[in-house]
A and B are shown apart, each in its own frame.
Chain A
């Protein structure tokens, strides 16, 4: 039986300060009993004199009389194959009325870093069925690709569509989905759950729910629990795991709140100076390990405060993740779904997952050419608004029209429309075919001869 202390000297926000303890380990799991309730916390600072503890379930109801005991161990997640199909709270307790997880293994949720020398280079193409992703910002297995969005935009629909449609080409096997909700509304959570249920995804999903009215500090645990589970499924049970967590912005707010409670020197806009490292520790838990069958692919969703991409949360995320899919308010207003603005979007791992042997040899060139004229067409919109369309040169008029058609035919698609990569490339070629061939300066002649609609029919015959 571990010793109980009733030596709390101070309670401040999510923190409690305890004195006269035995030596306590940094990061150790702490249990606090008050009335009949059990709360859990973690040691943030430990010394002979005083121990500082953050309490995950909030300090409401705690007093100097509450009993604190130290478990002598860091926080661990109980795991067994039976976890698949379960709905858990943001701190990992059953939320579906089912029993506690009977652990086969216990894993430290802090997650050790994958040895960079043990990583396998991710390069298996994942077809999401969405043209703006597959065609121009291709996702590969083991990638971390966040969705940057704004309040009121359909990022959840996009994430769900990806979860439904994602498949590796030529493989029947579908992904196990881990869904971590952090501070989202009950309604949003229900939207996800209903969709998982409708499509049968729930049977191969693990859900962690920390909702808007659940304690904010708990959010610090939620992604760690989800990722520990993901590592177990991927590297112990050989599964391909897709983990969606939403909303990273709420997670970061919790970090900021903790930092403020500890009176730390804040970094940019009040967020802790270690936020980059903290986020990296989560995001870097994606990938593939050489010699192991499974993989972890991450889809974090974050809403950009004030649609500002330079805000520290999207900014630091963008610096860590392997690209970003940007949901645009402007396209959304135009009625385009999915409103993905490809210009600031990026997939850093695209290159290793496309081309001959993955998708098709002309993929890179087509994508580059689409980008070039869509971006130029967008710039020309500004000019046309000032000088009038008539004042544009013939070439510029073509480019301007190209941008409009690109949005309507390439970007826009149905919520259940699952395009194959070849459909996507075909749409791209059809759009490019409306431009004079000499304008296709980014495409090697051999691909023009093979795939340009003008030649494709005869090329196919050969």
Chain B
């Protein structure tokens, strides 16, 4: 390996001479050996982004080559970890350097000493293909970690296979061509891991959020963007999805955001239970925390490192959810590096390749037939933080070209403390059609019909509200006044959902459906009553209507809802 020399240092960017490294190879800069990546080669100069603070680095200091790009270490022991953007476990860094992160620390992404019990699932003589599982490790109580033939290995007949306790570097199997299989794979983070075949997104990803599941649902393997100005609820939504989504593995990437939010997550996840299994959420989670004050180059890398781990668990046949908070900070990291490279900037100073990078990232999502034979998926939910809350800016626009679900956060709703502040008129899901059959089959034949009815009411409501702003609501015909009231119920009793209420934070499909059906039932009663000439004021003040407001806060809601509906029936019968 060559040793080069630093020529110039300006912020996180270093120029060096005397290197042979290729693009995206890792190099170690300076006496302290700061982790860095080659991001440009021009003449005899290598342009290097440093993942750590460069204060004090001087021209003339050495630059060492590693001959390999930035890789993620993939093997048992990733789950429950909290990493920085280049997969260094943060608790390990704290052990080494205290409460403040210092520089030049090397730590493996997984523990190479720890022994895991390896159980083979194939035997001597079996022919295995790349990506195929040859054994298993019980990584967490409910999660089996499949040990797979690395995708870049040729495969072939198994010459030797062992069982027992091994660390990740020890050989657990040998193929006939002599290749040795261990329990760790090193994969370049900027490269997508291969699958056998991509599959159509026909299964919804249940989030327990009514506005999402009910109106703008995400598919397993799908992509969603959640853009919104500051304080509109991006982070809370991502955390809520990470808690309740019906996936096997969650990869939460805190990319250029707050330290206290990460502390919050690390505090909560070990205590909260996965609604599907009753086990602590932490057992199925992997957290990447490269907060806003940590080096920008590592922030840029964090999205790829996170994605690579997600793909790795997908390859085992798991459904994975990757949330990225926020993709705008990732884009800004690109912009920062780009402008220091003095590249020709595109729109608003972002590099011209912004759209391409975003596309490459979202393309790595999907449901797939994996090389091992089963099915797995990676779904992505990316937060977008548009400058000034303006969705016409480049990151939002480039993202919307890629993703299939758009949850538009609306600061007007936030100001009213209507959460989630997802605007029900602007948002959309392009999985709508493909998911309908699943809901009909698995929840109710009326699921889609009710959804369309509710959306139509909200649409009409928006038109009526414009008239109300001119003439007041009393001037409207009576049936339209009822529509306003029903819309208000859909908005306040159903779309609004507090992430902090112990019960309301998660609503199963059945409950979502029943509550909406109840509101629509009220609408039918009310229209019938109007037709009979009963005054609007009498209709909207039936006590059962207000009682309906609080049913969502009940865990055992069914008997309560039944009672409220029986009461509604008799109250409407009694109206004159």
Contacts and interface: CB of A to CB of B under 8 A. Distances in A.
Contact of A320 (B263, B292, B553): B292
Contacts of B7: 47-48
16 contacts: A27-B56, A44-B11, A48-B60, A113-B259, A119-B263, A268-B349, A273-B339, A276-B292, A277-B332, A287-B260, A292-B99, A310-B390, A312-B387, A315-B388, A322-B258, A376-B416
A387 B293 contact: no
B291 A118 contact: no
Given A46-B58, A375-B417, A284 B291 contact: yes
Interface in B269-290: 289
Contacts of B101: 112-115
A28 B56 contact: yes
A45 B9 contact: yes
A206 interface: no
Q: In the complex, which of the residues A115, A322, A352 has the most CB atoms of chain B within 10 Å of its own CB atom?
A: A115
B349 A266 contact: yes
Interface string A258-275: 000000111110000110
B109 to A, nearest CB: 15
Contacts of B463: none
B57 interface: yes
Given A276-B332, A348-B231, A386-B469, 15 more contacts: A23-B60, A26-B57, A46-B8, A114-B100, A117-B82, A143-B260, A265-B342, A274-B11, A277-B256, A292-B99, A315-B389, A318-B229, A349-B260, A387-B472, A441-B492
Contacts of A364: 500
Contacts, number: 226
Interface of B: 7-11, 15, 53-61, 82, 90-91, 93-94, 98-102, 229-231, 254, 256, 258-260, 262-264, 266-267, 289, 291-294, 296, 329, 332, 335-336, 339, 342, 345, 348-349, 385, 387-390, 411, 415-417, 468-475, 492-493, 498, 500, 543, 546, 549-550, 553
B354 to A, nearest CB: 13
Interface string A285-310: 10101101000000000000000001
Contacts of B61: 23
Contacts of B336: 273-274, 277
A383 B470 CA distance: 7
B526 to A, nearest CB: 16
Interface residues of A, number: 83
B422 to A, nearest CB: 17
B416 A264 contact: no
B469 A318 contact: no
B294 A113 contact: yes
A268 B387 CA distance: 9
Nearest to B295: A113
A281 interface: yes
A284 B289 CA distance: 14
Contacts of B553: 444
Contact of A120 (B258, B263, B292, B296): B263
A115 B417 contact: no
Contact of B82 (A116, A292, A441): A116
A54 interface: no
A351 interface: yes
Given A74-B55, A284-B259, A289-B99, A117 B90 contact: yes
Contacts of A26: 9-11, 54-58
Contacts of B549: 441
A391 interface: yes
Given A25-B55, A315-B387, A387-B471, A115 B296 contact: no
Contacts of A122: 260, 263
Given A26-B57, A273-B339, A372-B417, A284 B349 contact: no
Contacts of B475: 391
A445 B293 contact: no
B513 to A, nearest CB: 21
A23 B8 CA distance: 10
Contacts of B267: 121
Contacts of A368: 417, 498
B387 A391 contact: no
B201 to A, nearest CB: 31
B335 A267 contact: yes
A116 B289 contact: yes
B39 to A, nearest CB: 16
A455 interface: no
A-B complex: 9 closest residue pairs judged by Cβ atoms:
A280-B292, A310-B388, A47-B8, A391-B472, A117-B90, A318-B230, A27-B55, A119-B263, A112-B100
A24 interface: yes
A180 B512 CA distance: 51
A281 B293 contact: yes
Contacts of A120: 263
A265 B351 CA distance: 11
Contacts of B256: 276-277, 280
A208 to B, nearest CB: 21
A14 B267 CA distance: 46
Contacts of B349: 265-268, 273
A25 B415 contact: no
A284 to B, nearest CB: 4
Nearest to A112: B100
B259 A319 contact: no
Nearest to A369: B417
Q: In the complex, which of the residues A74, A142, A284 has the most CB atoms of chain B within 10 Å of its own CB atom?
A: A284
A304 to B, nearest CB: 12
B473 to A, nearest CB: 6
Given A267-B349, A274-B336, A392 B416 contact: no
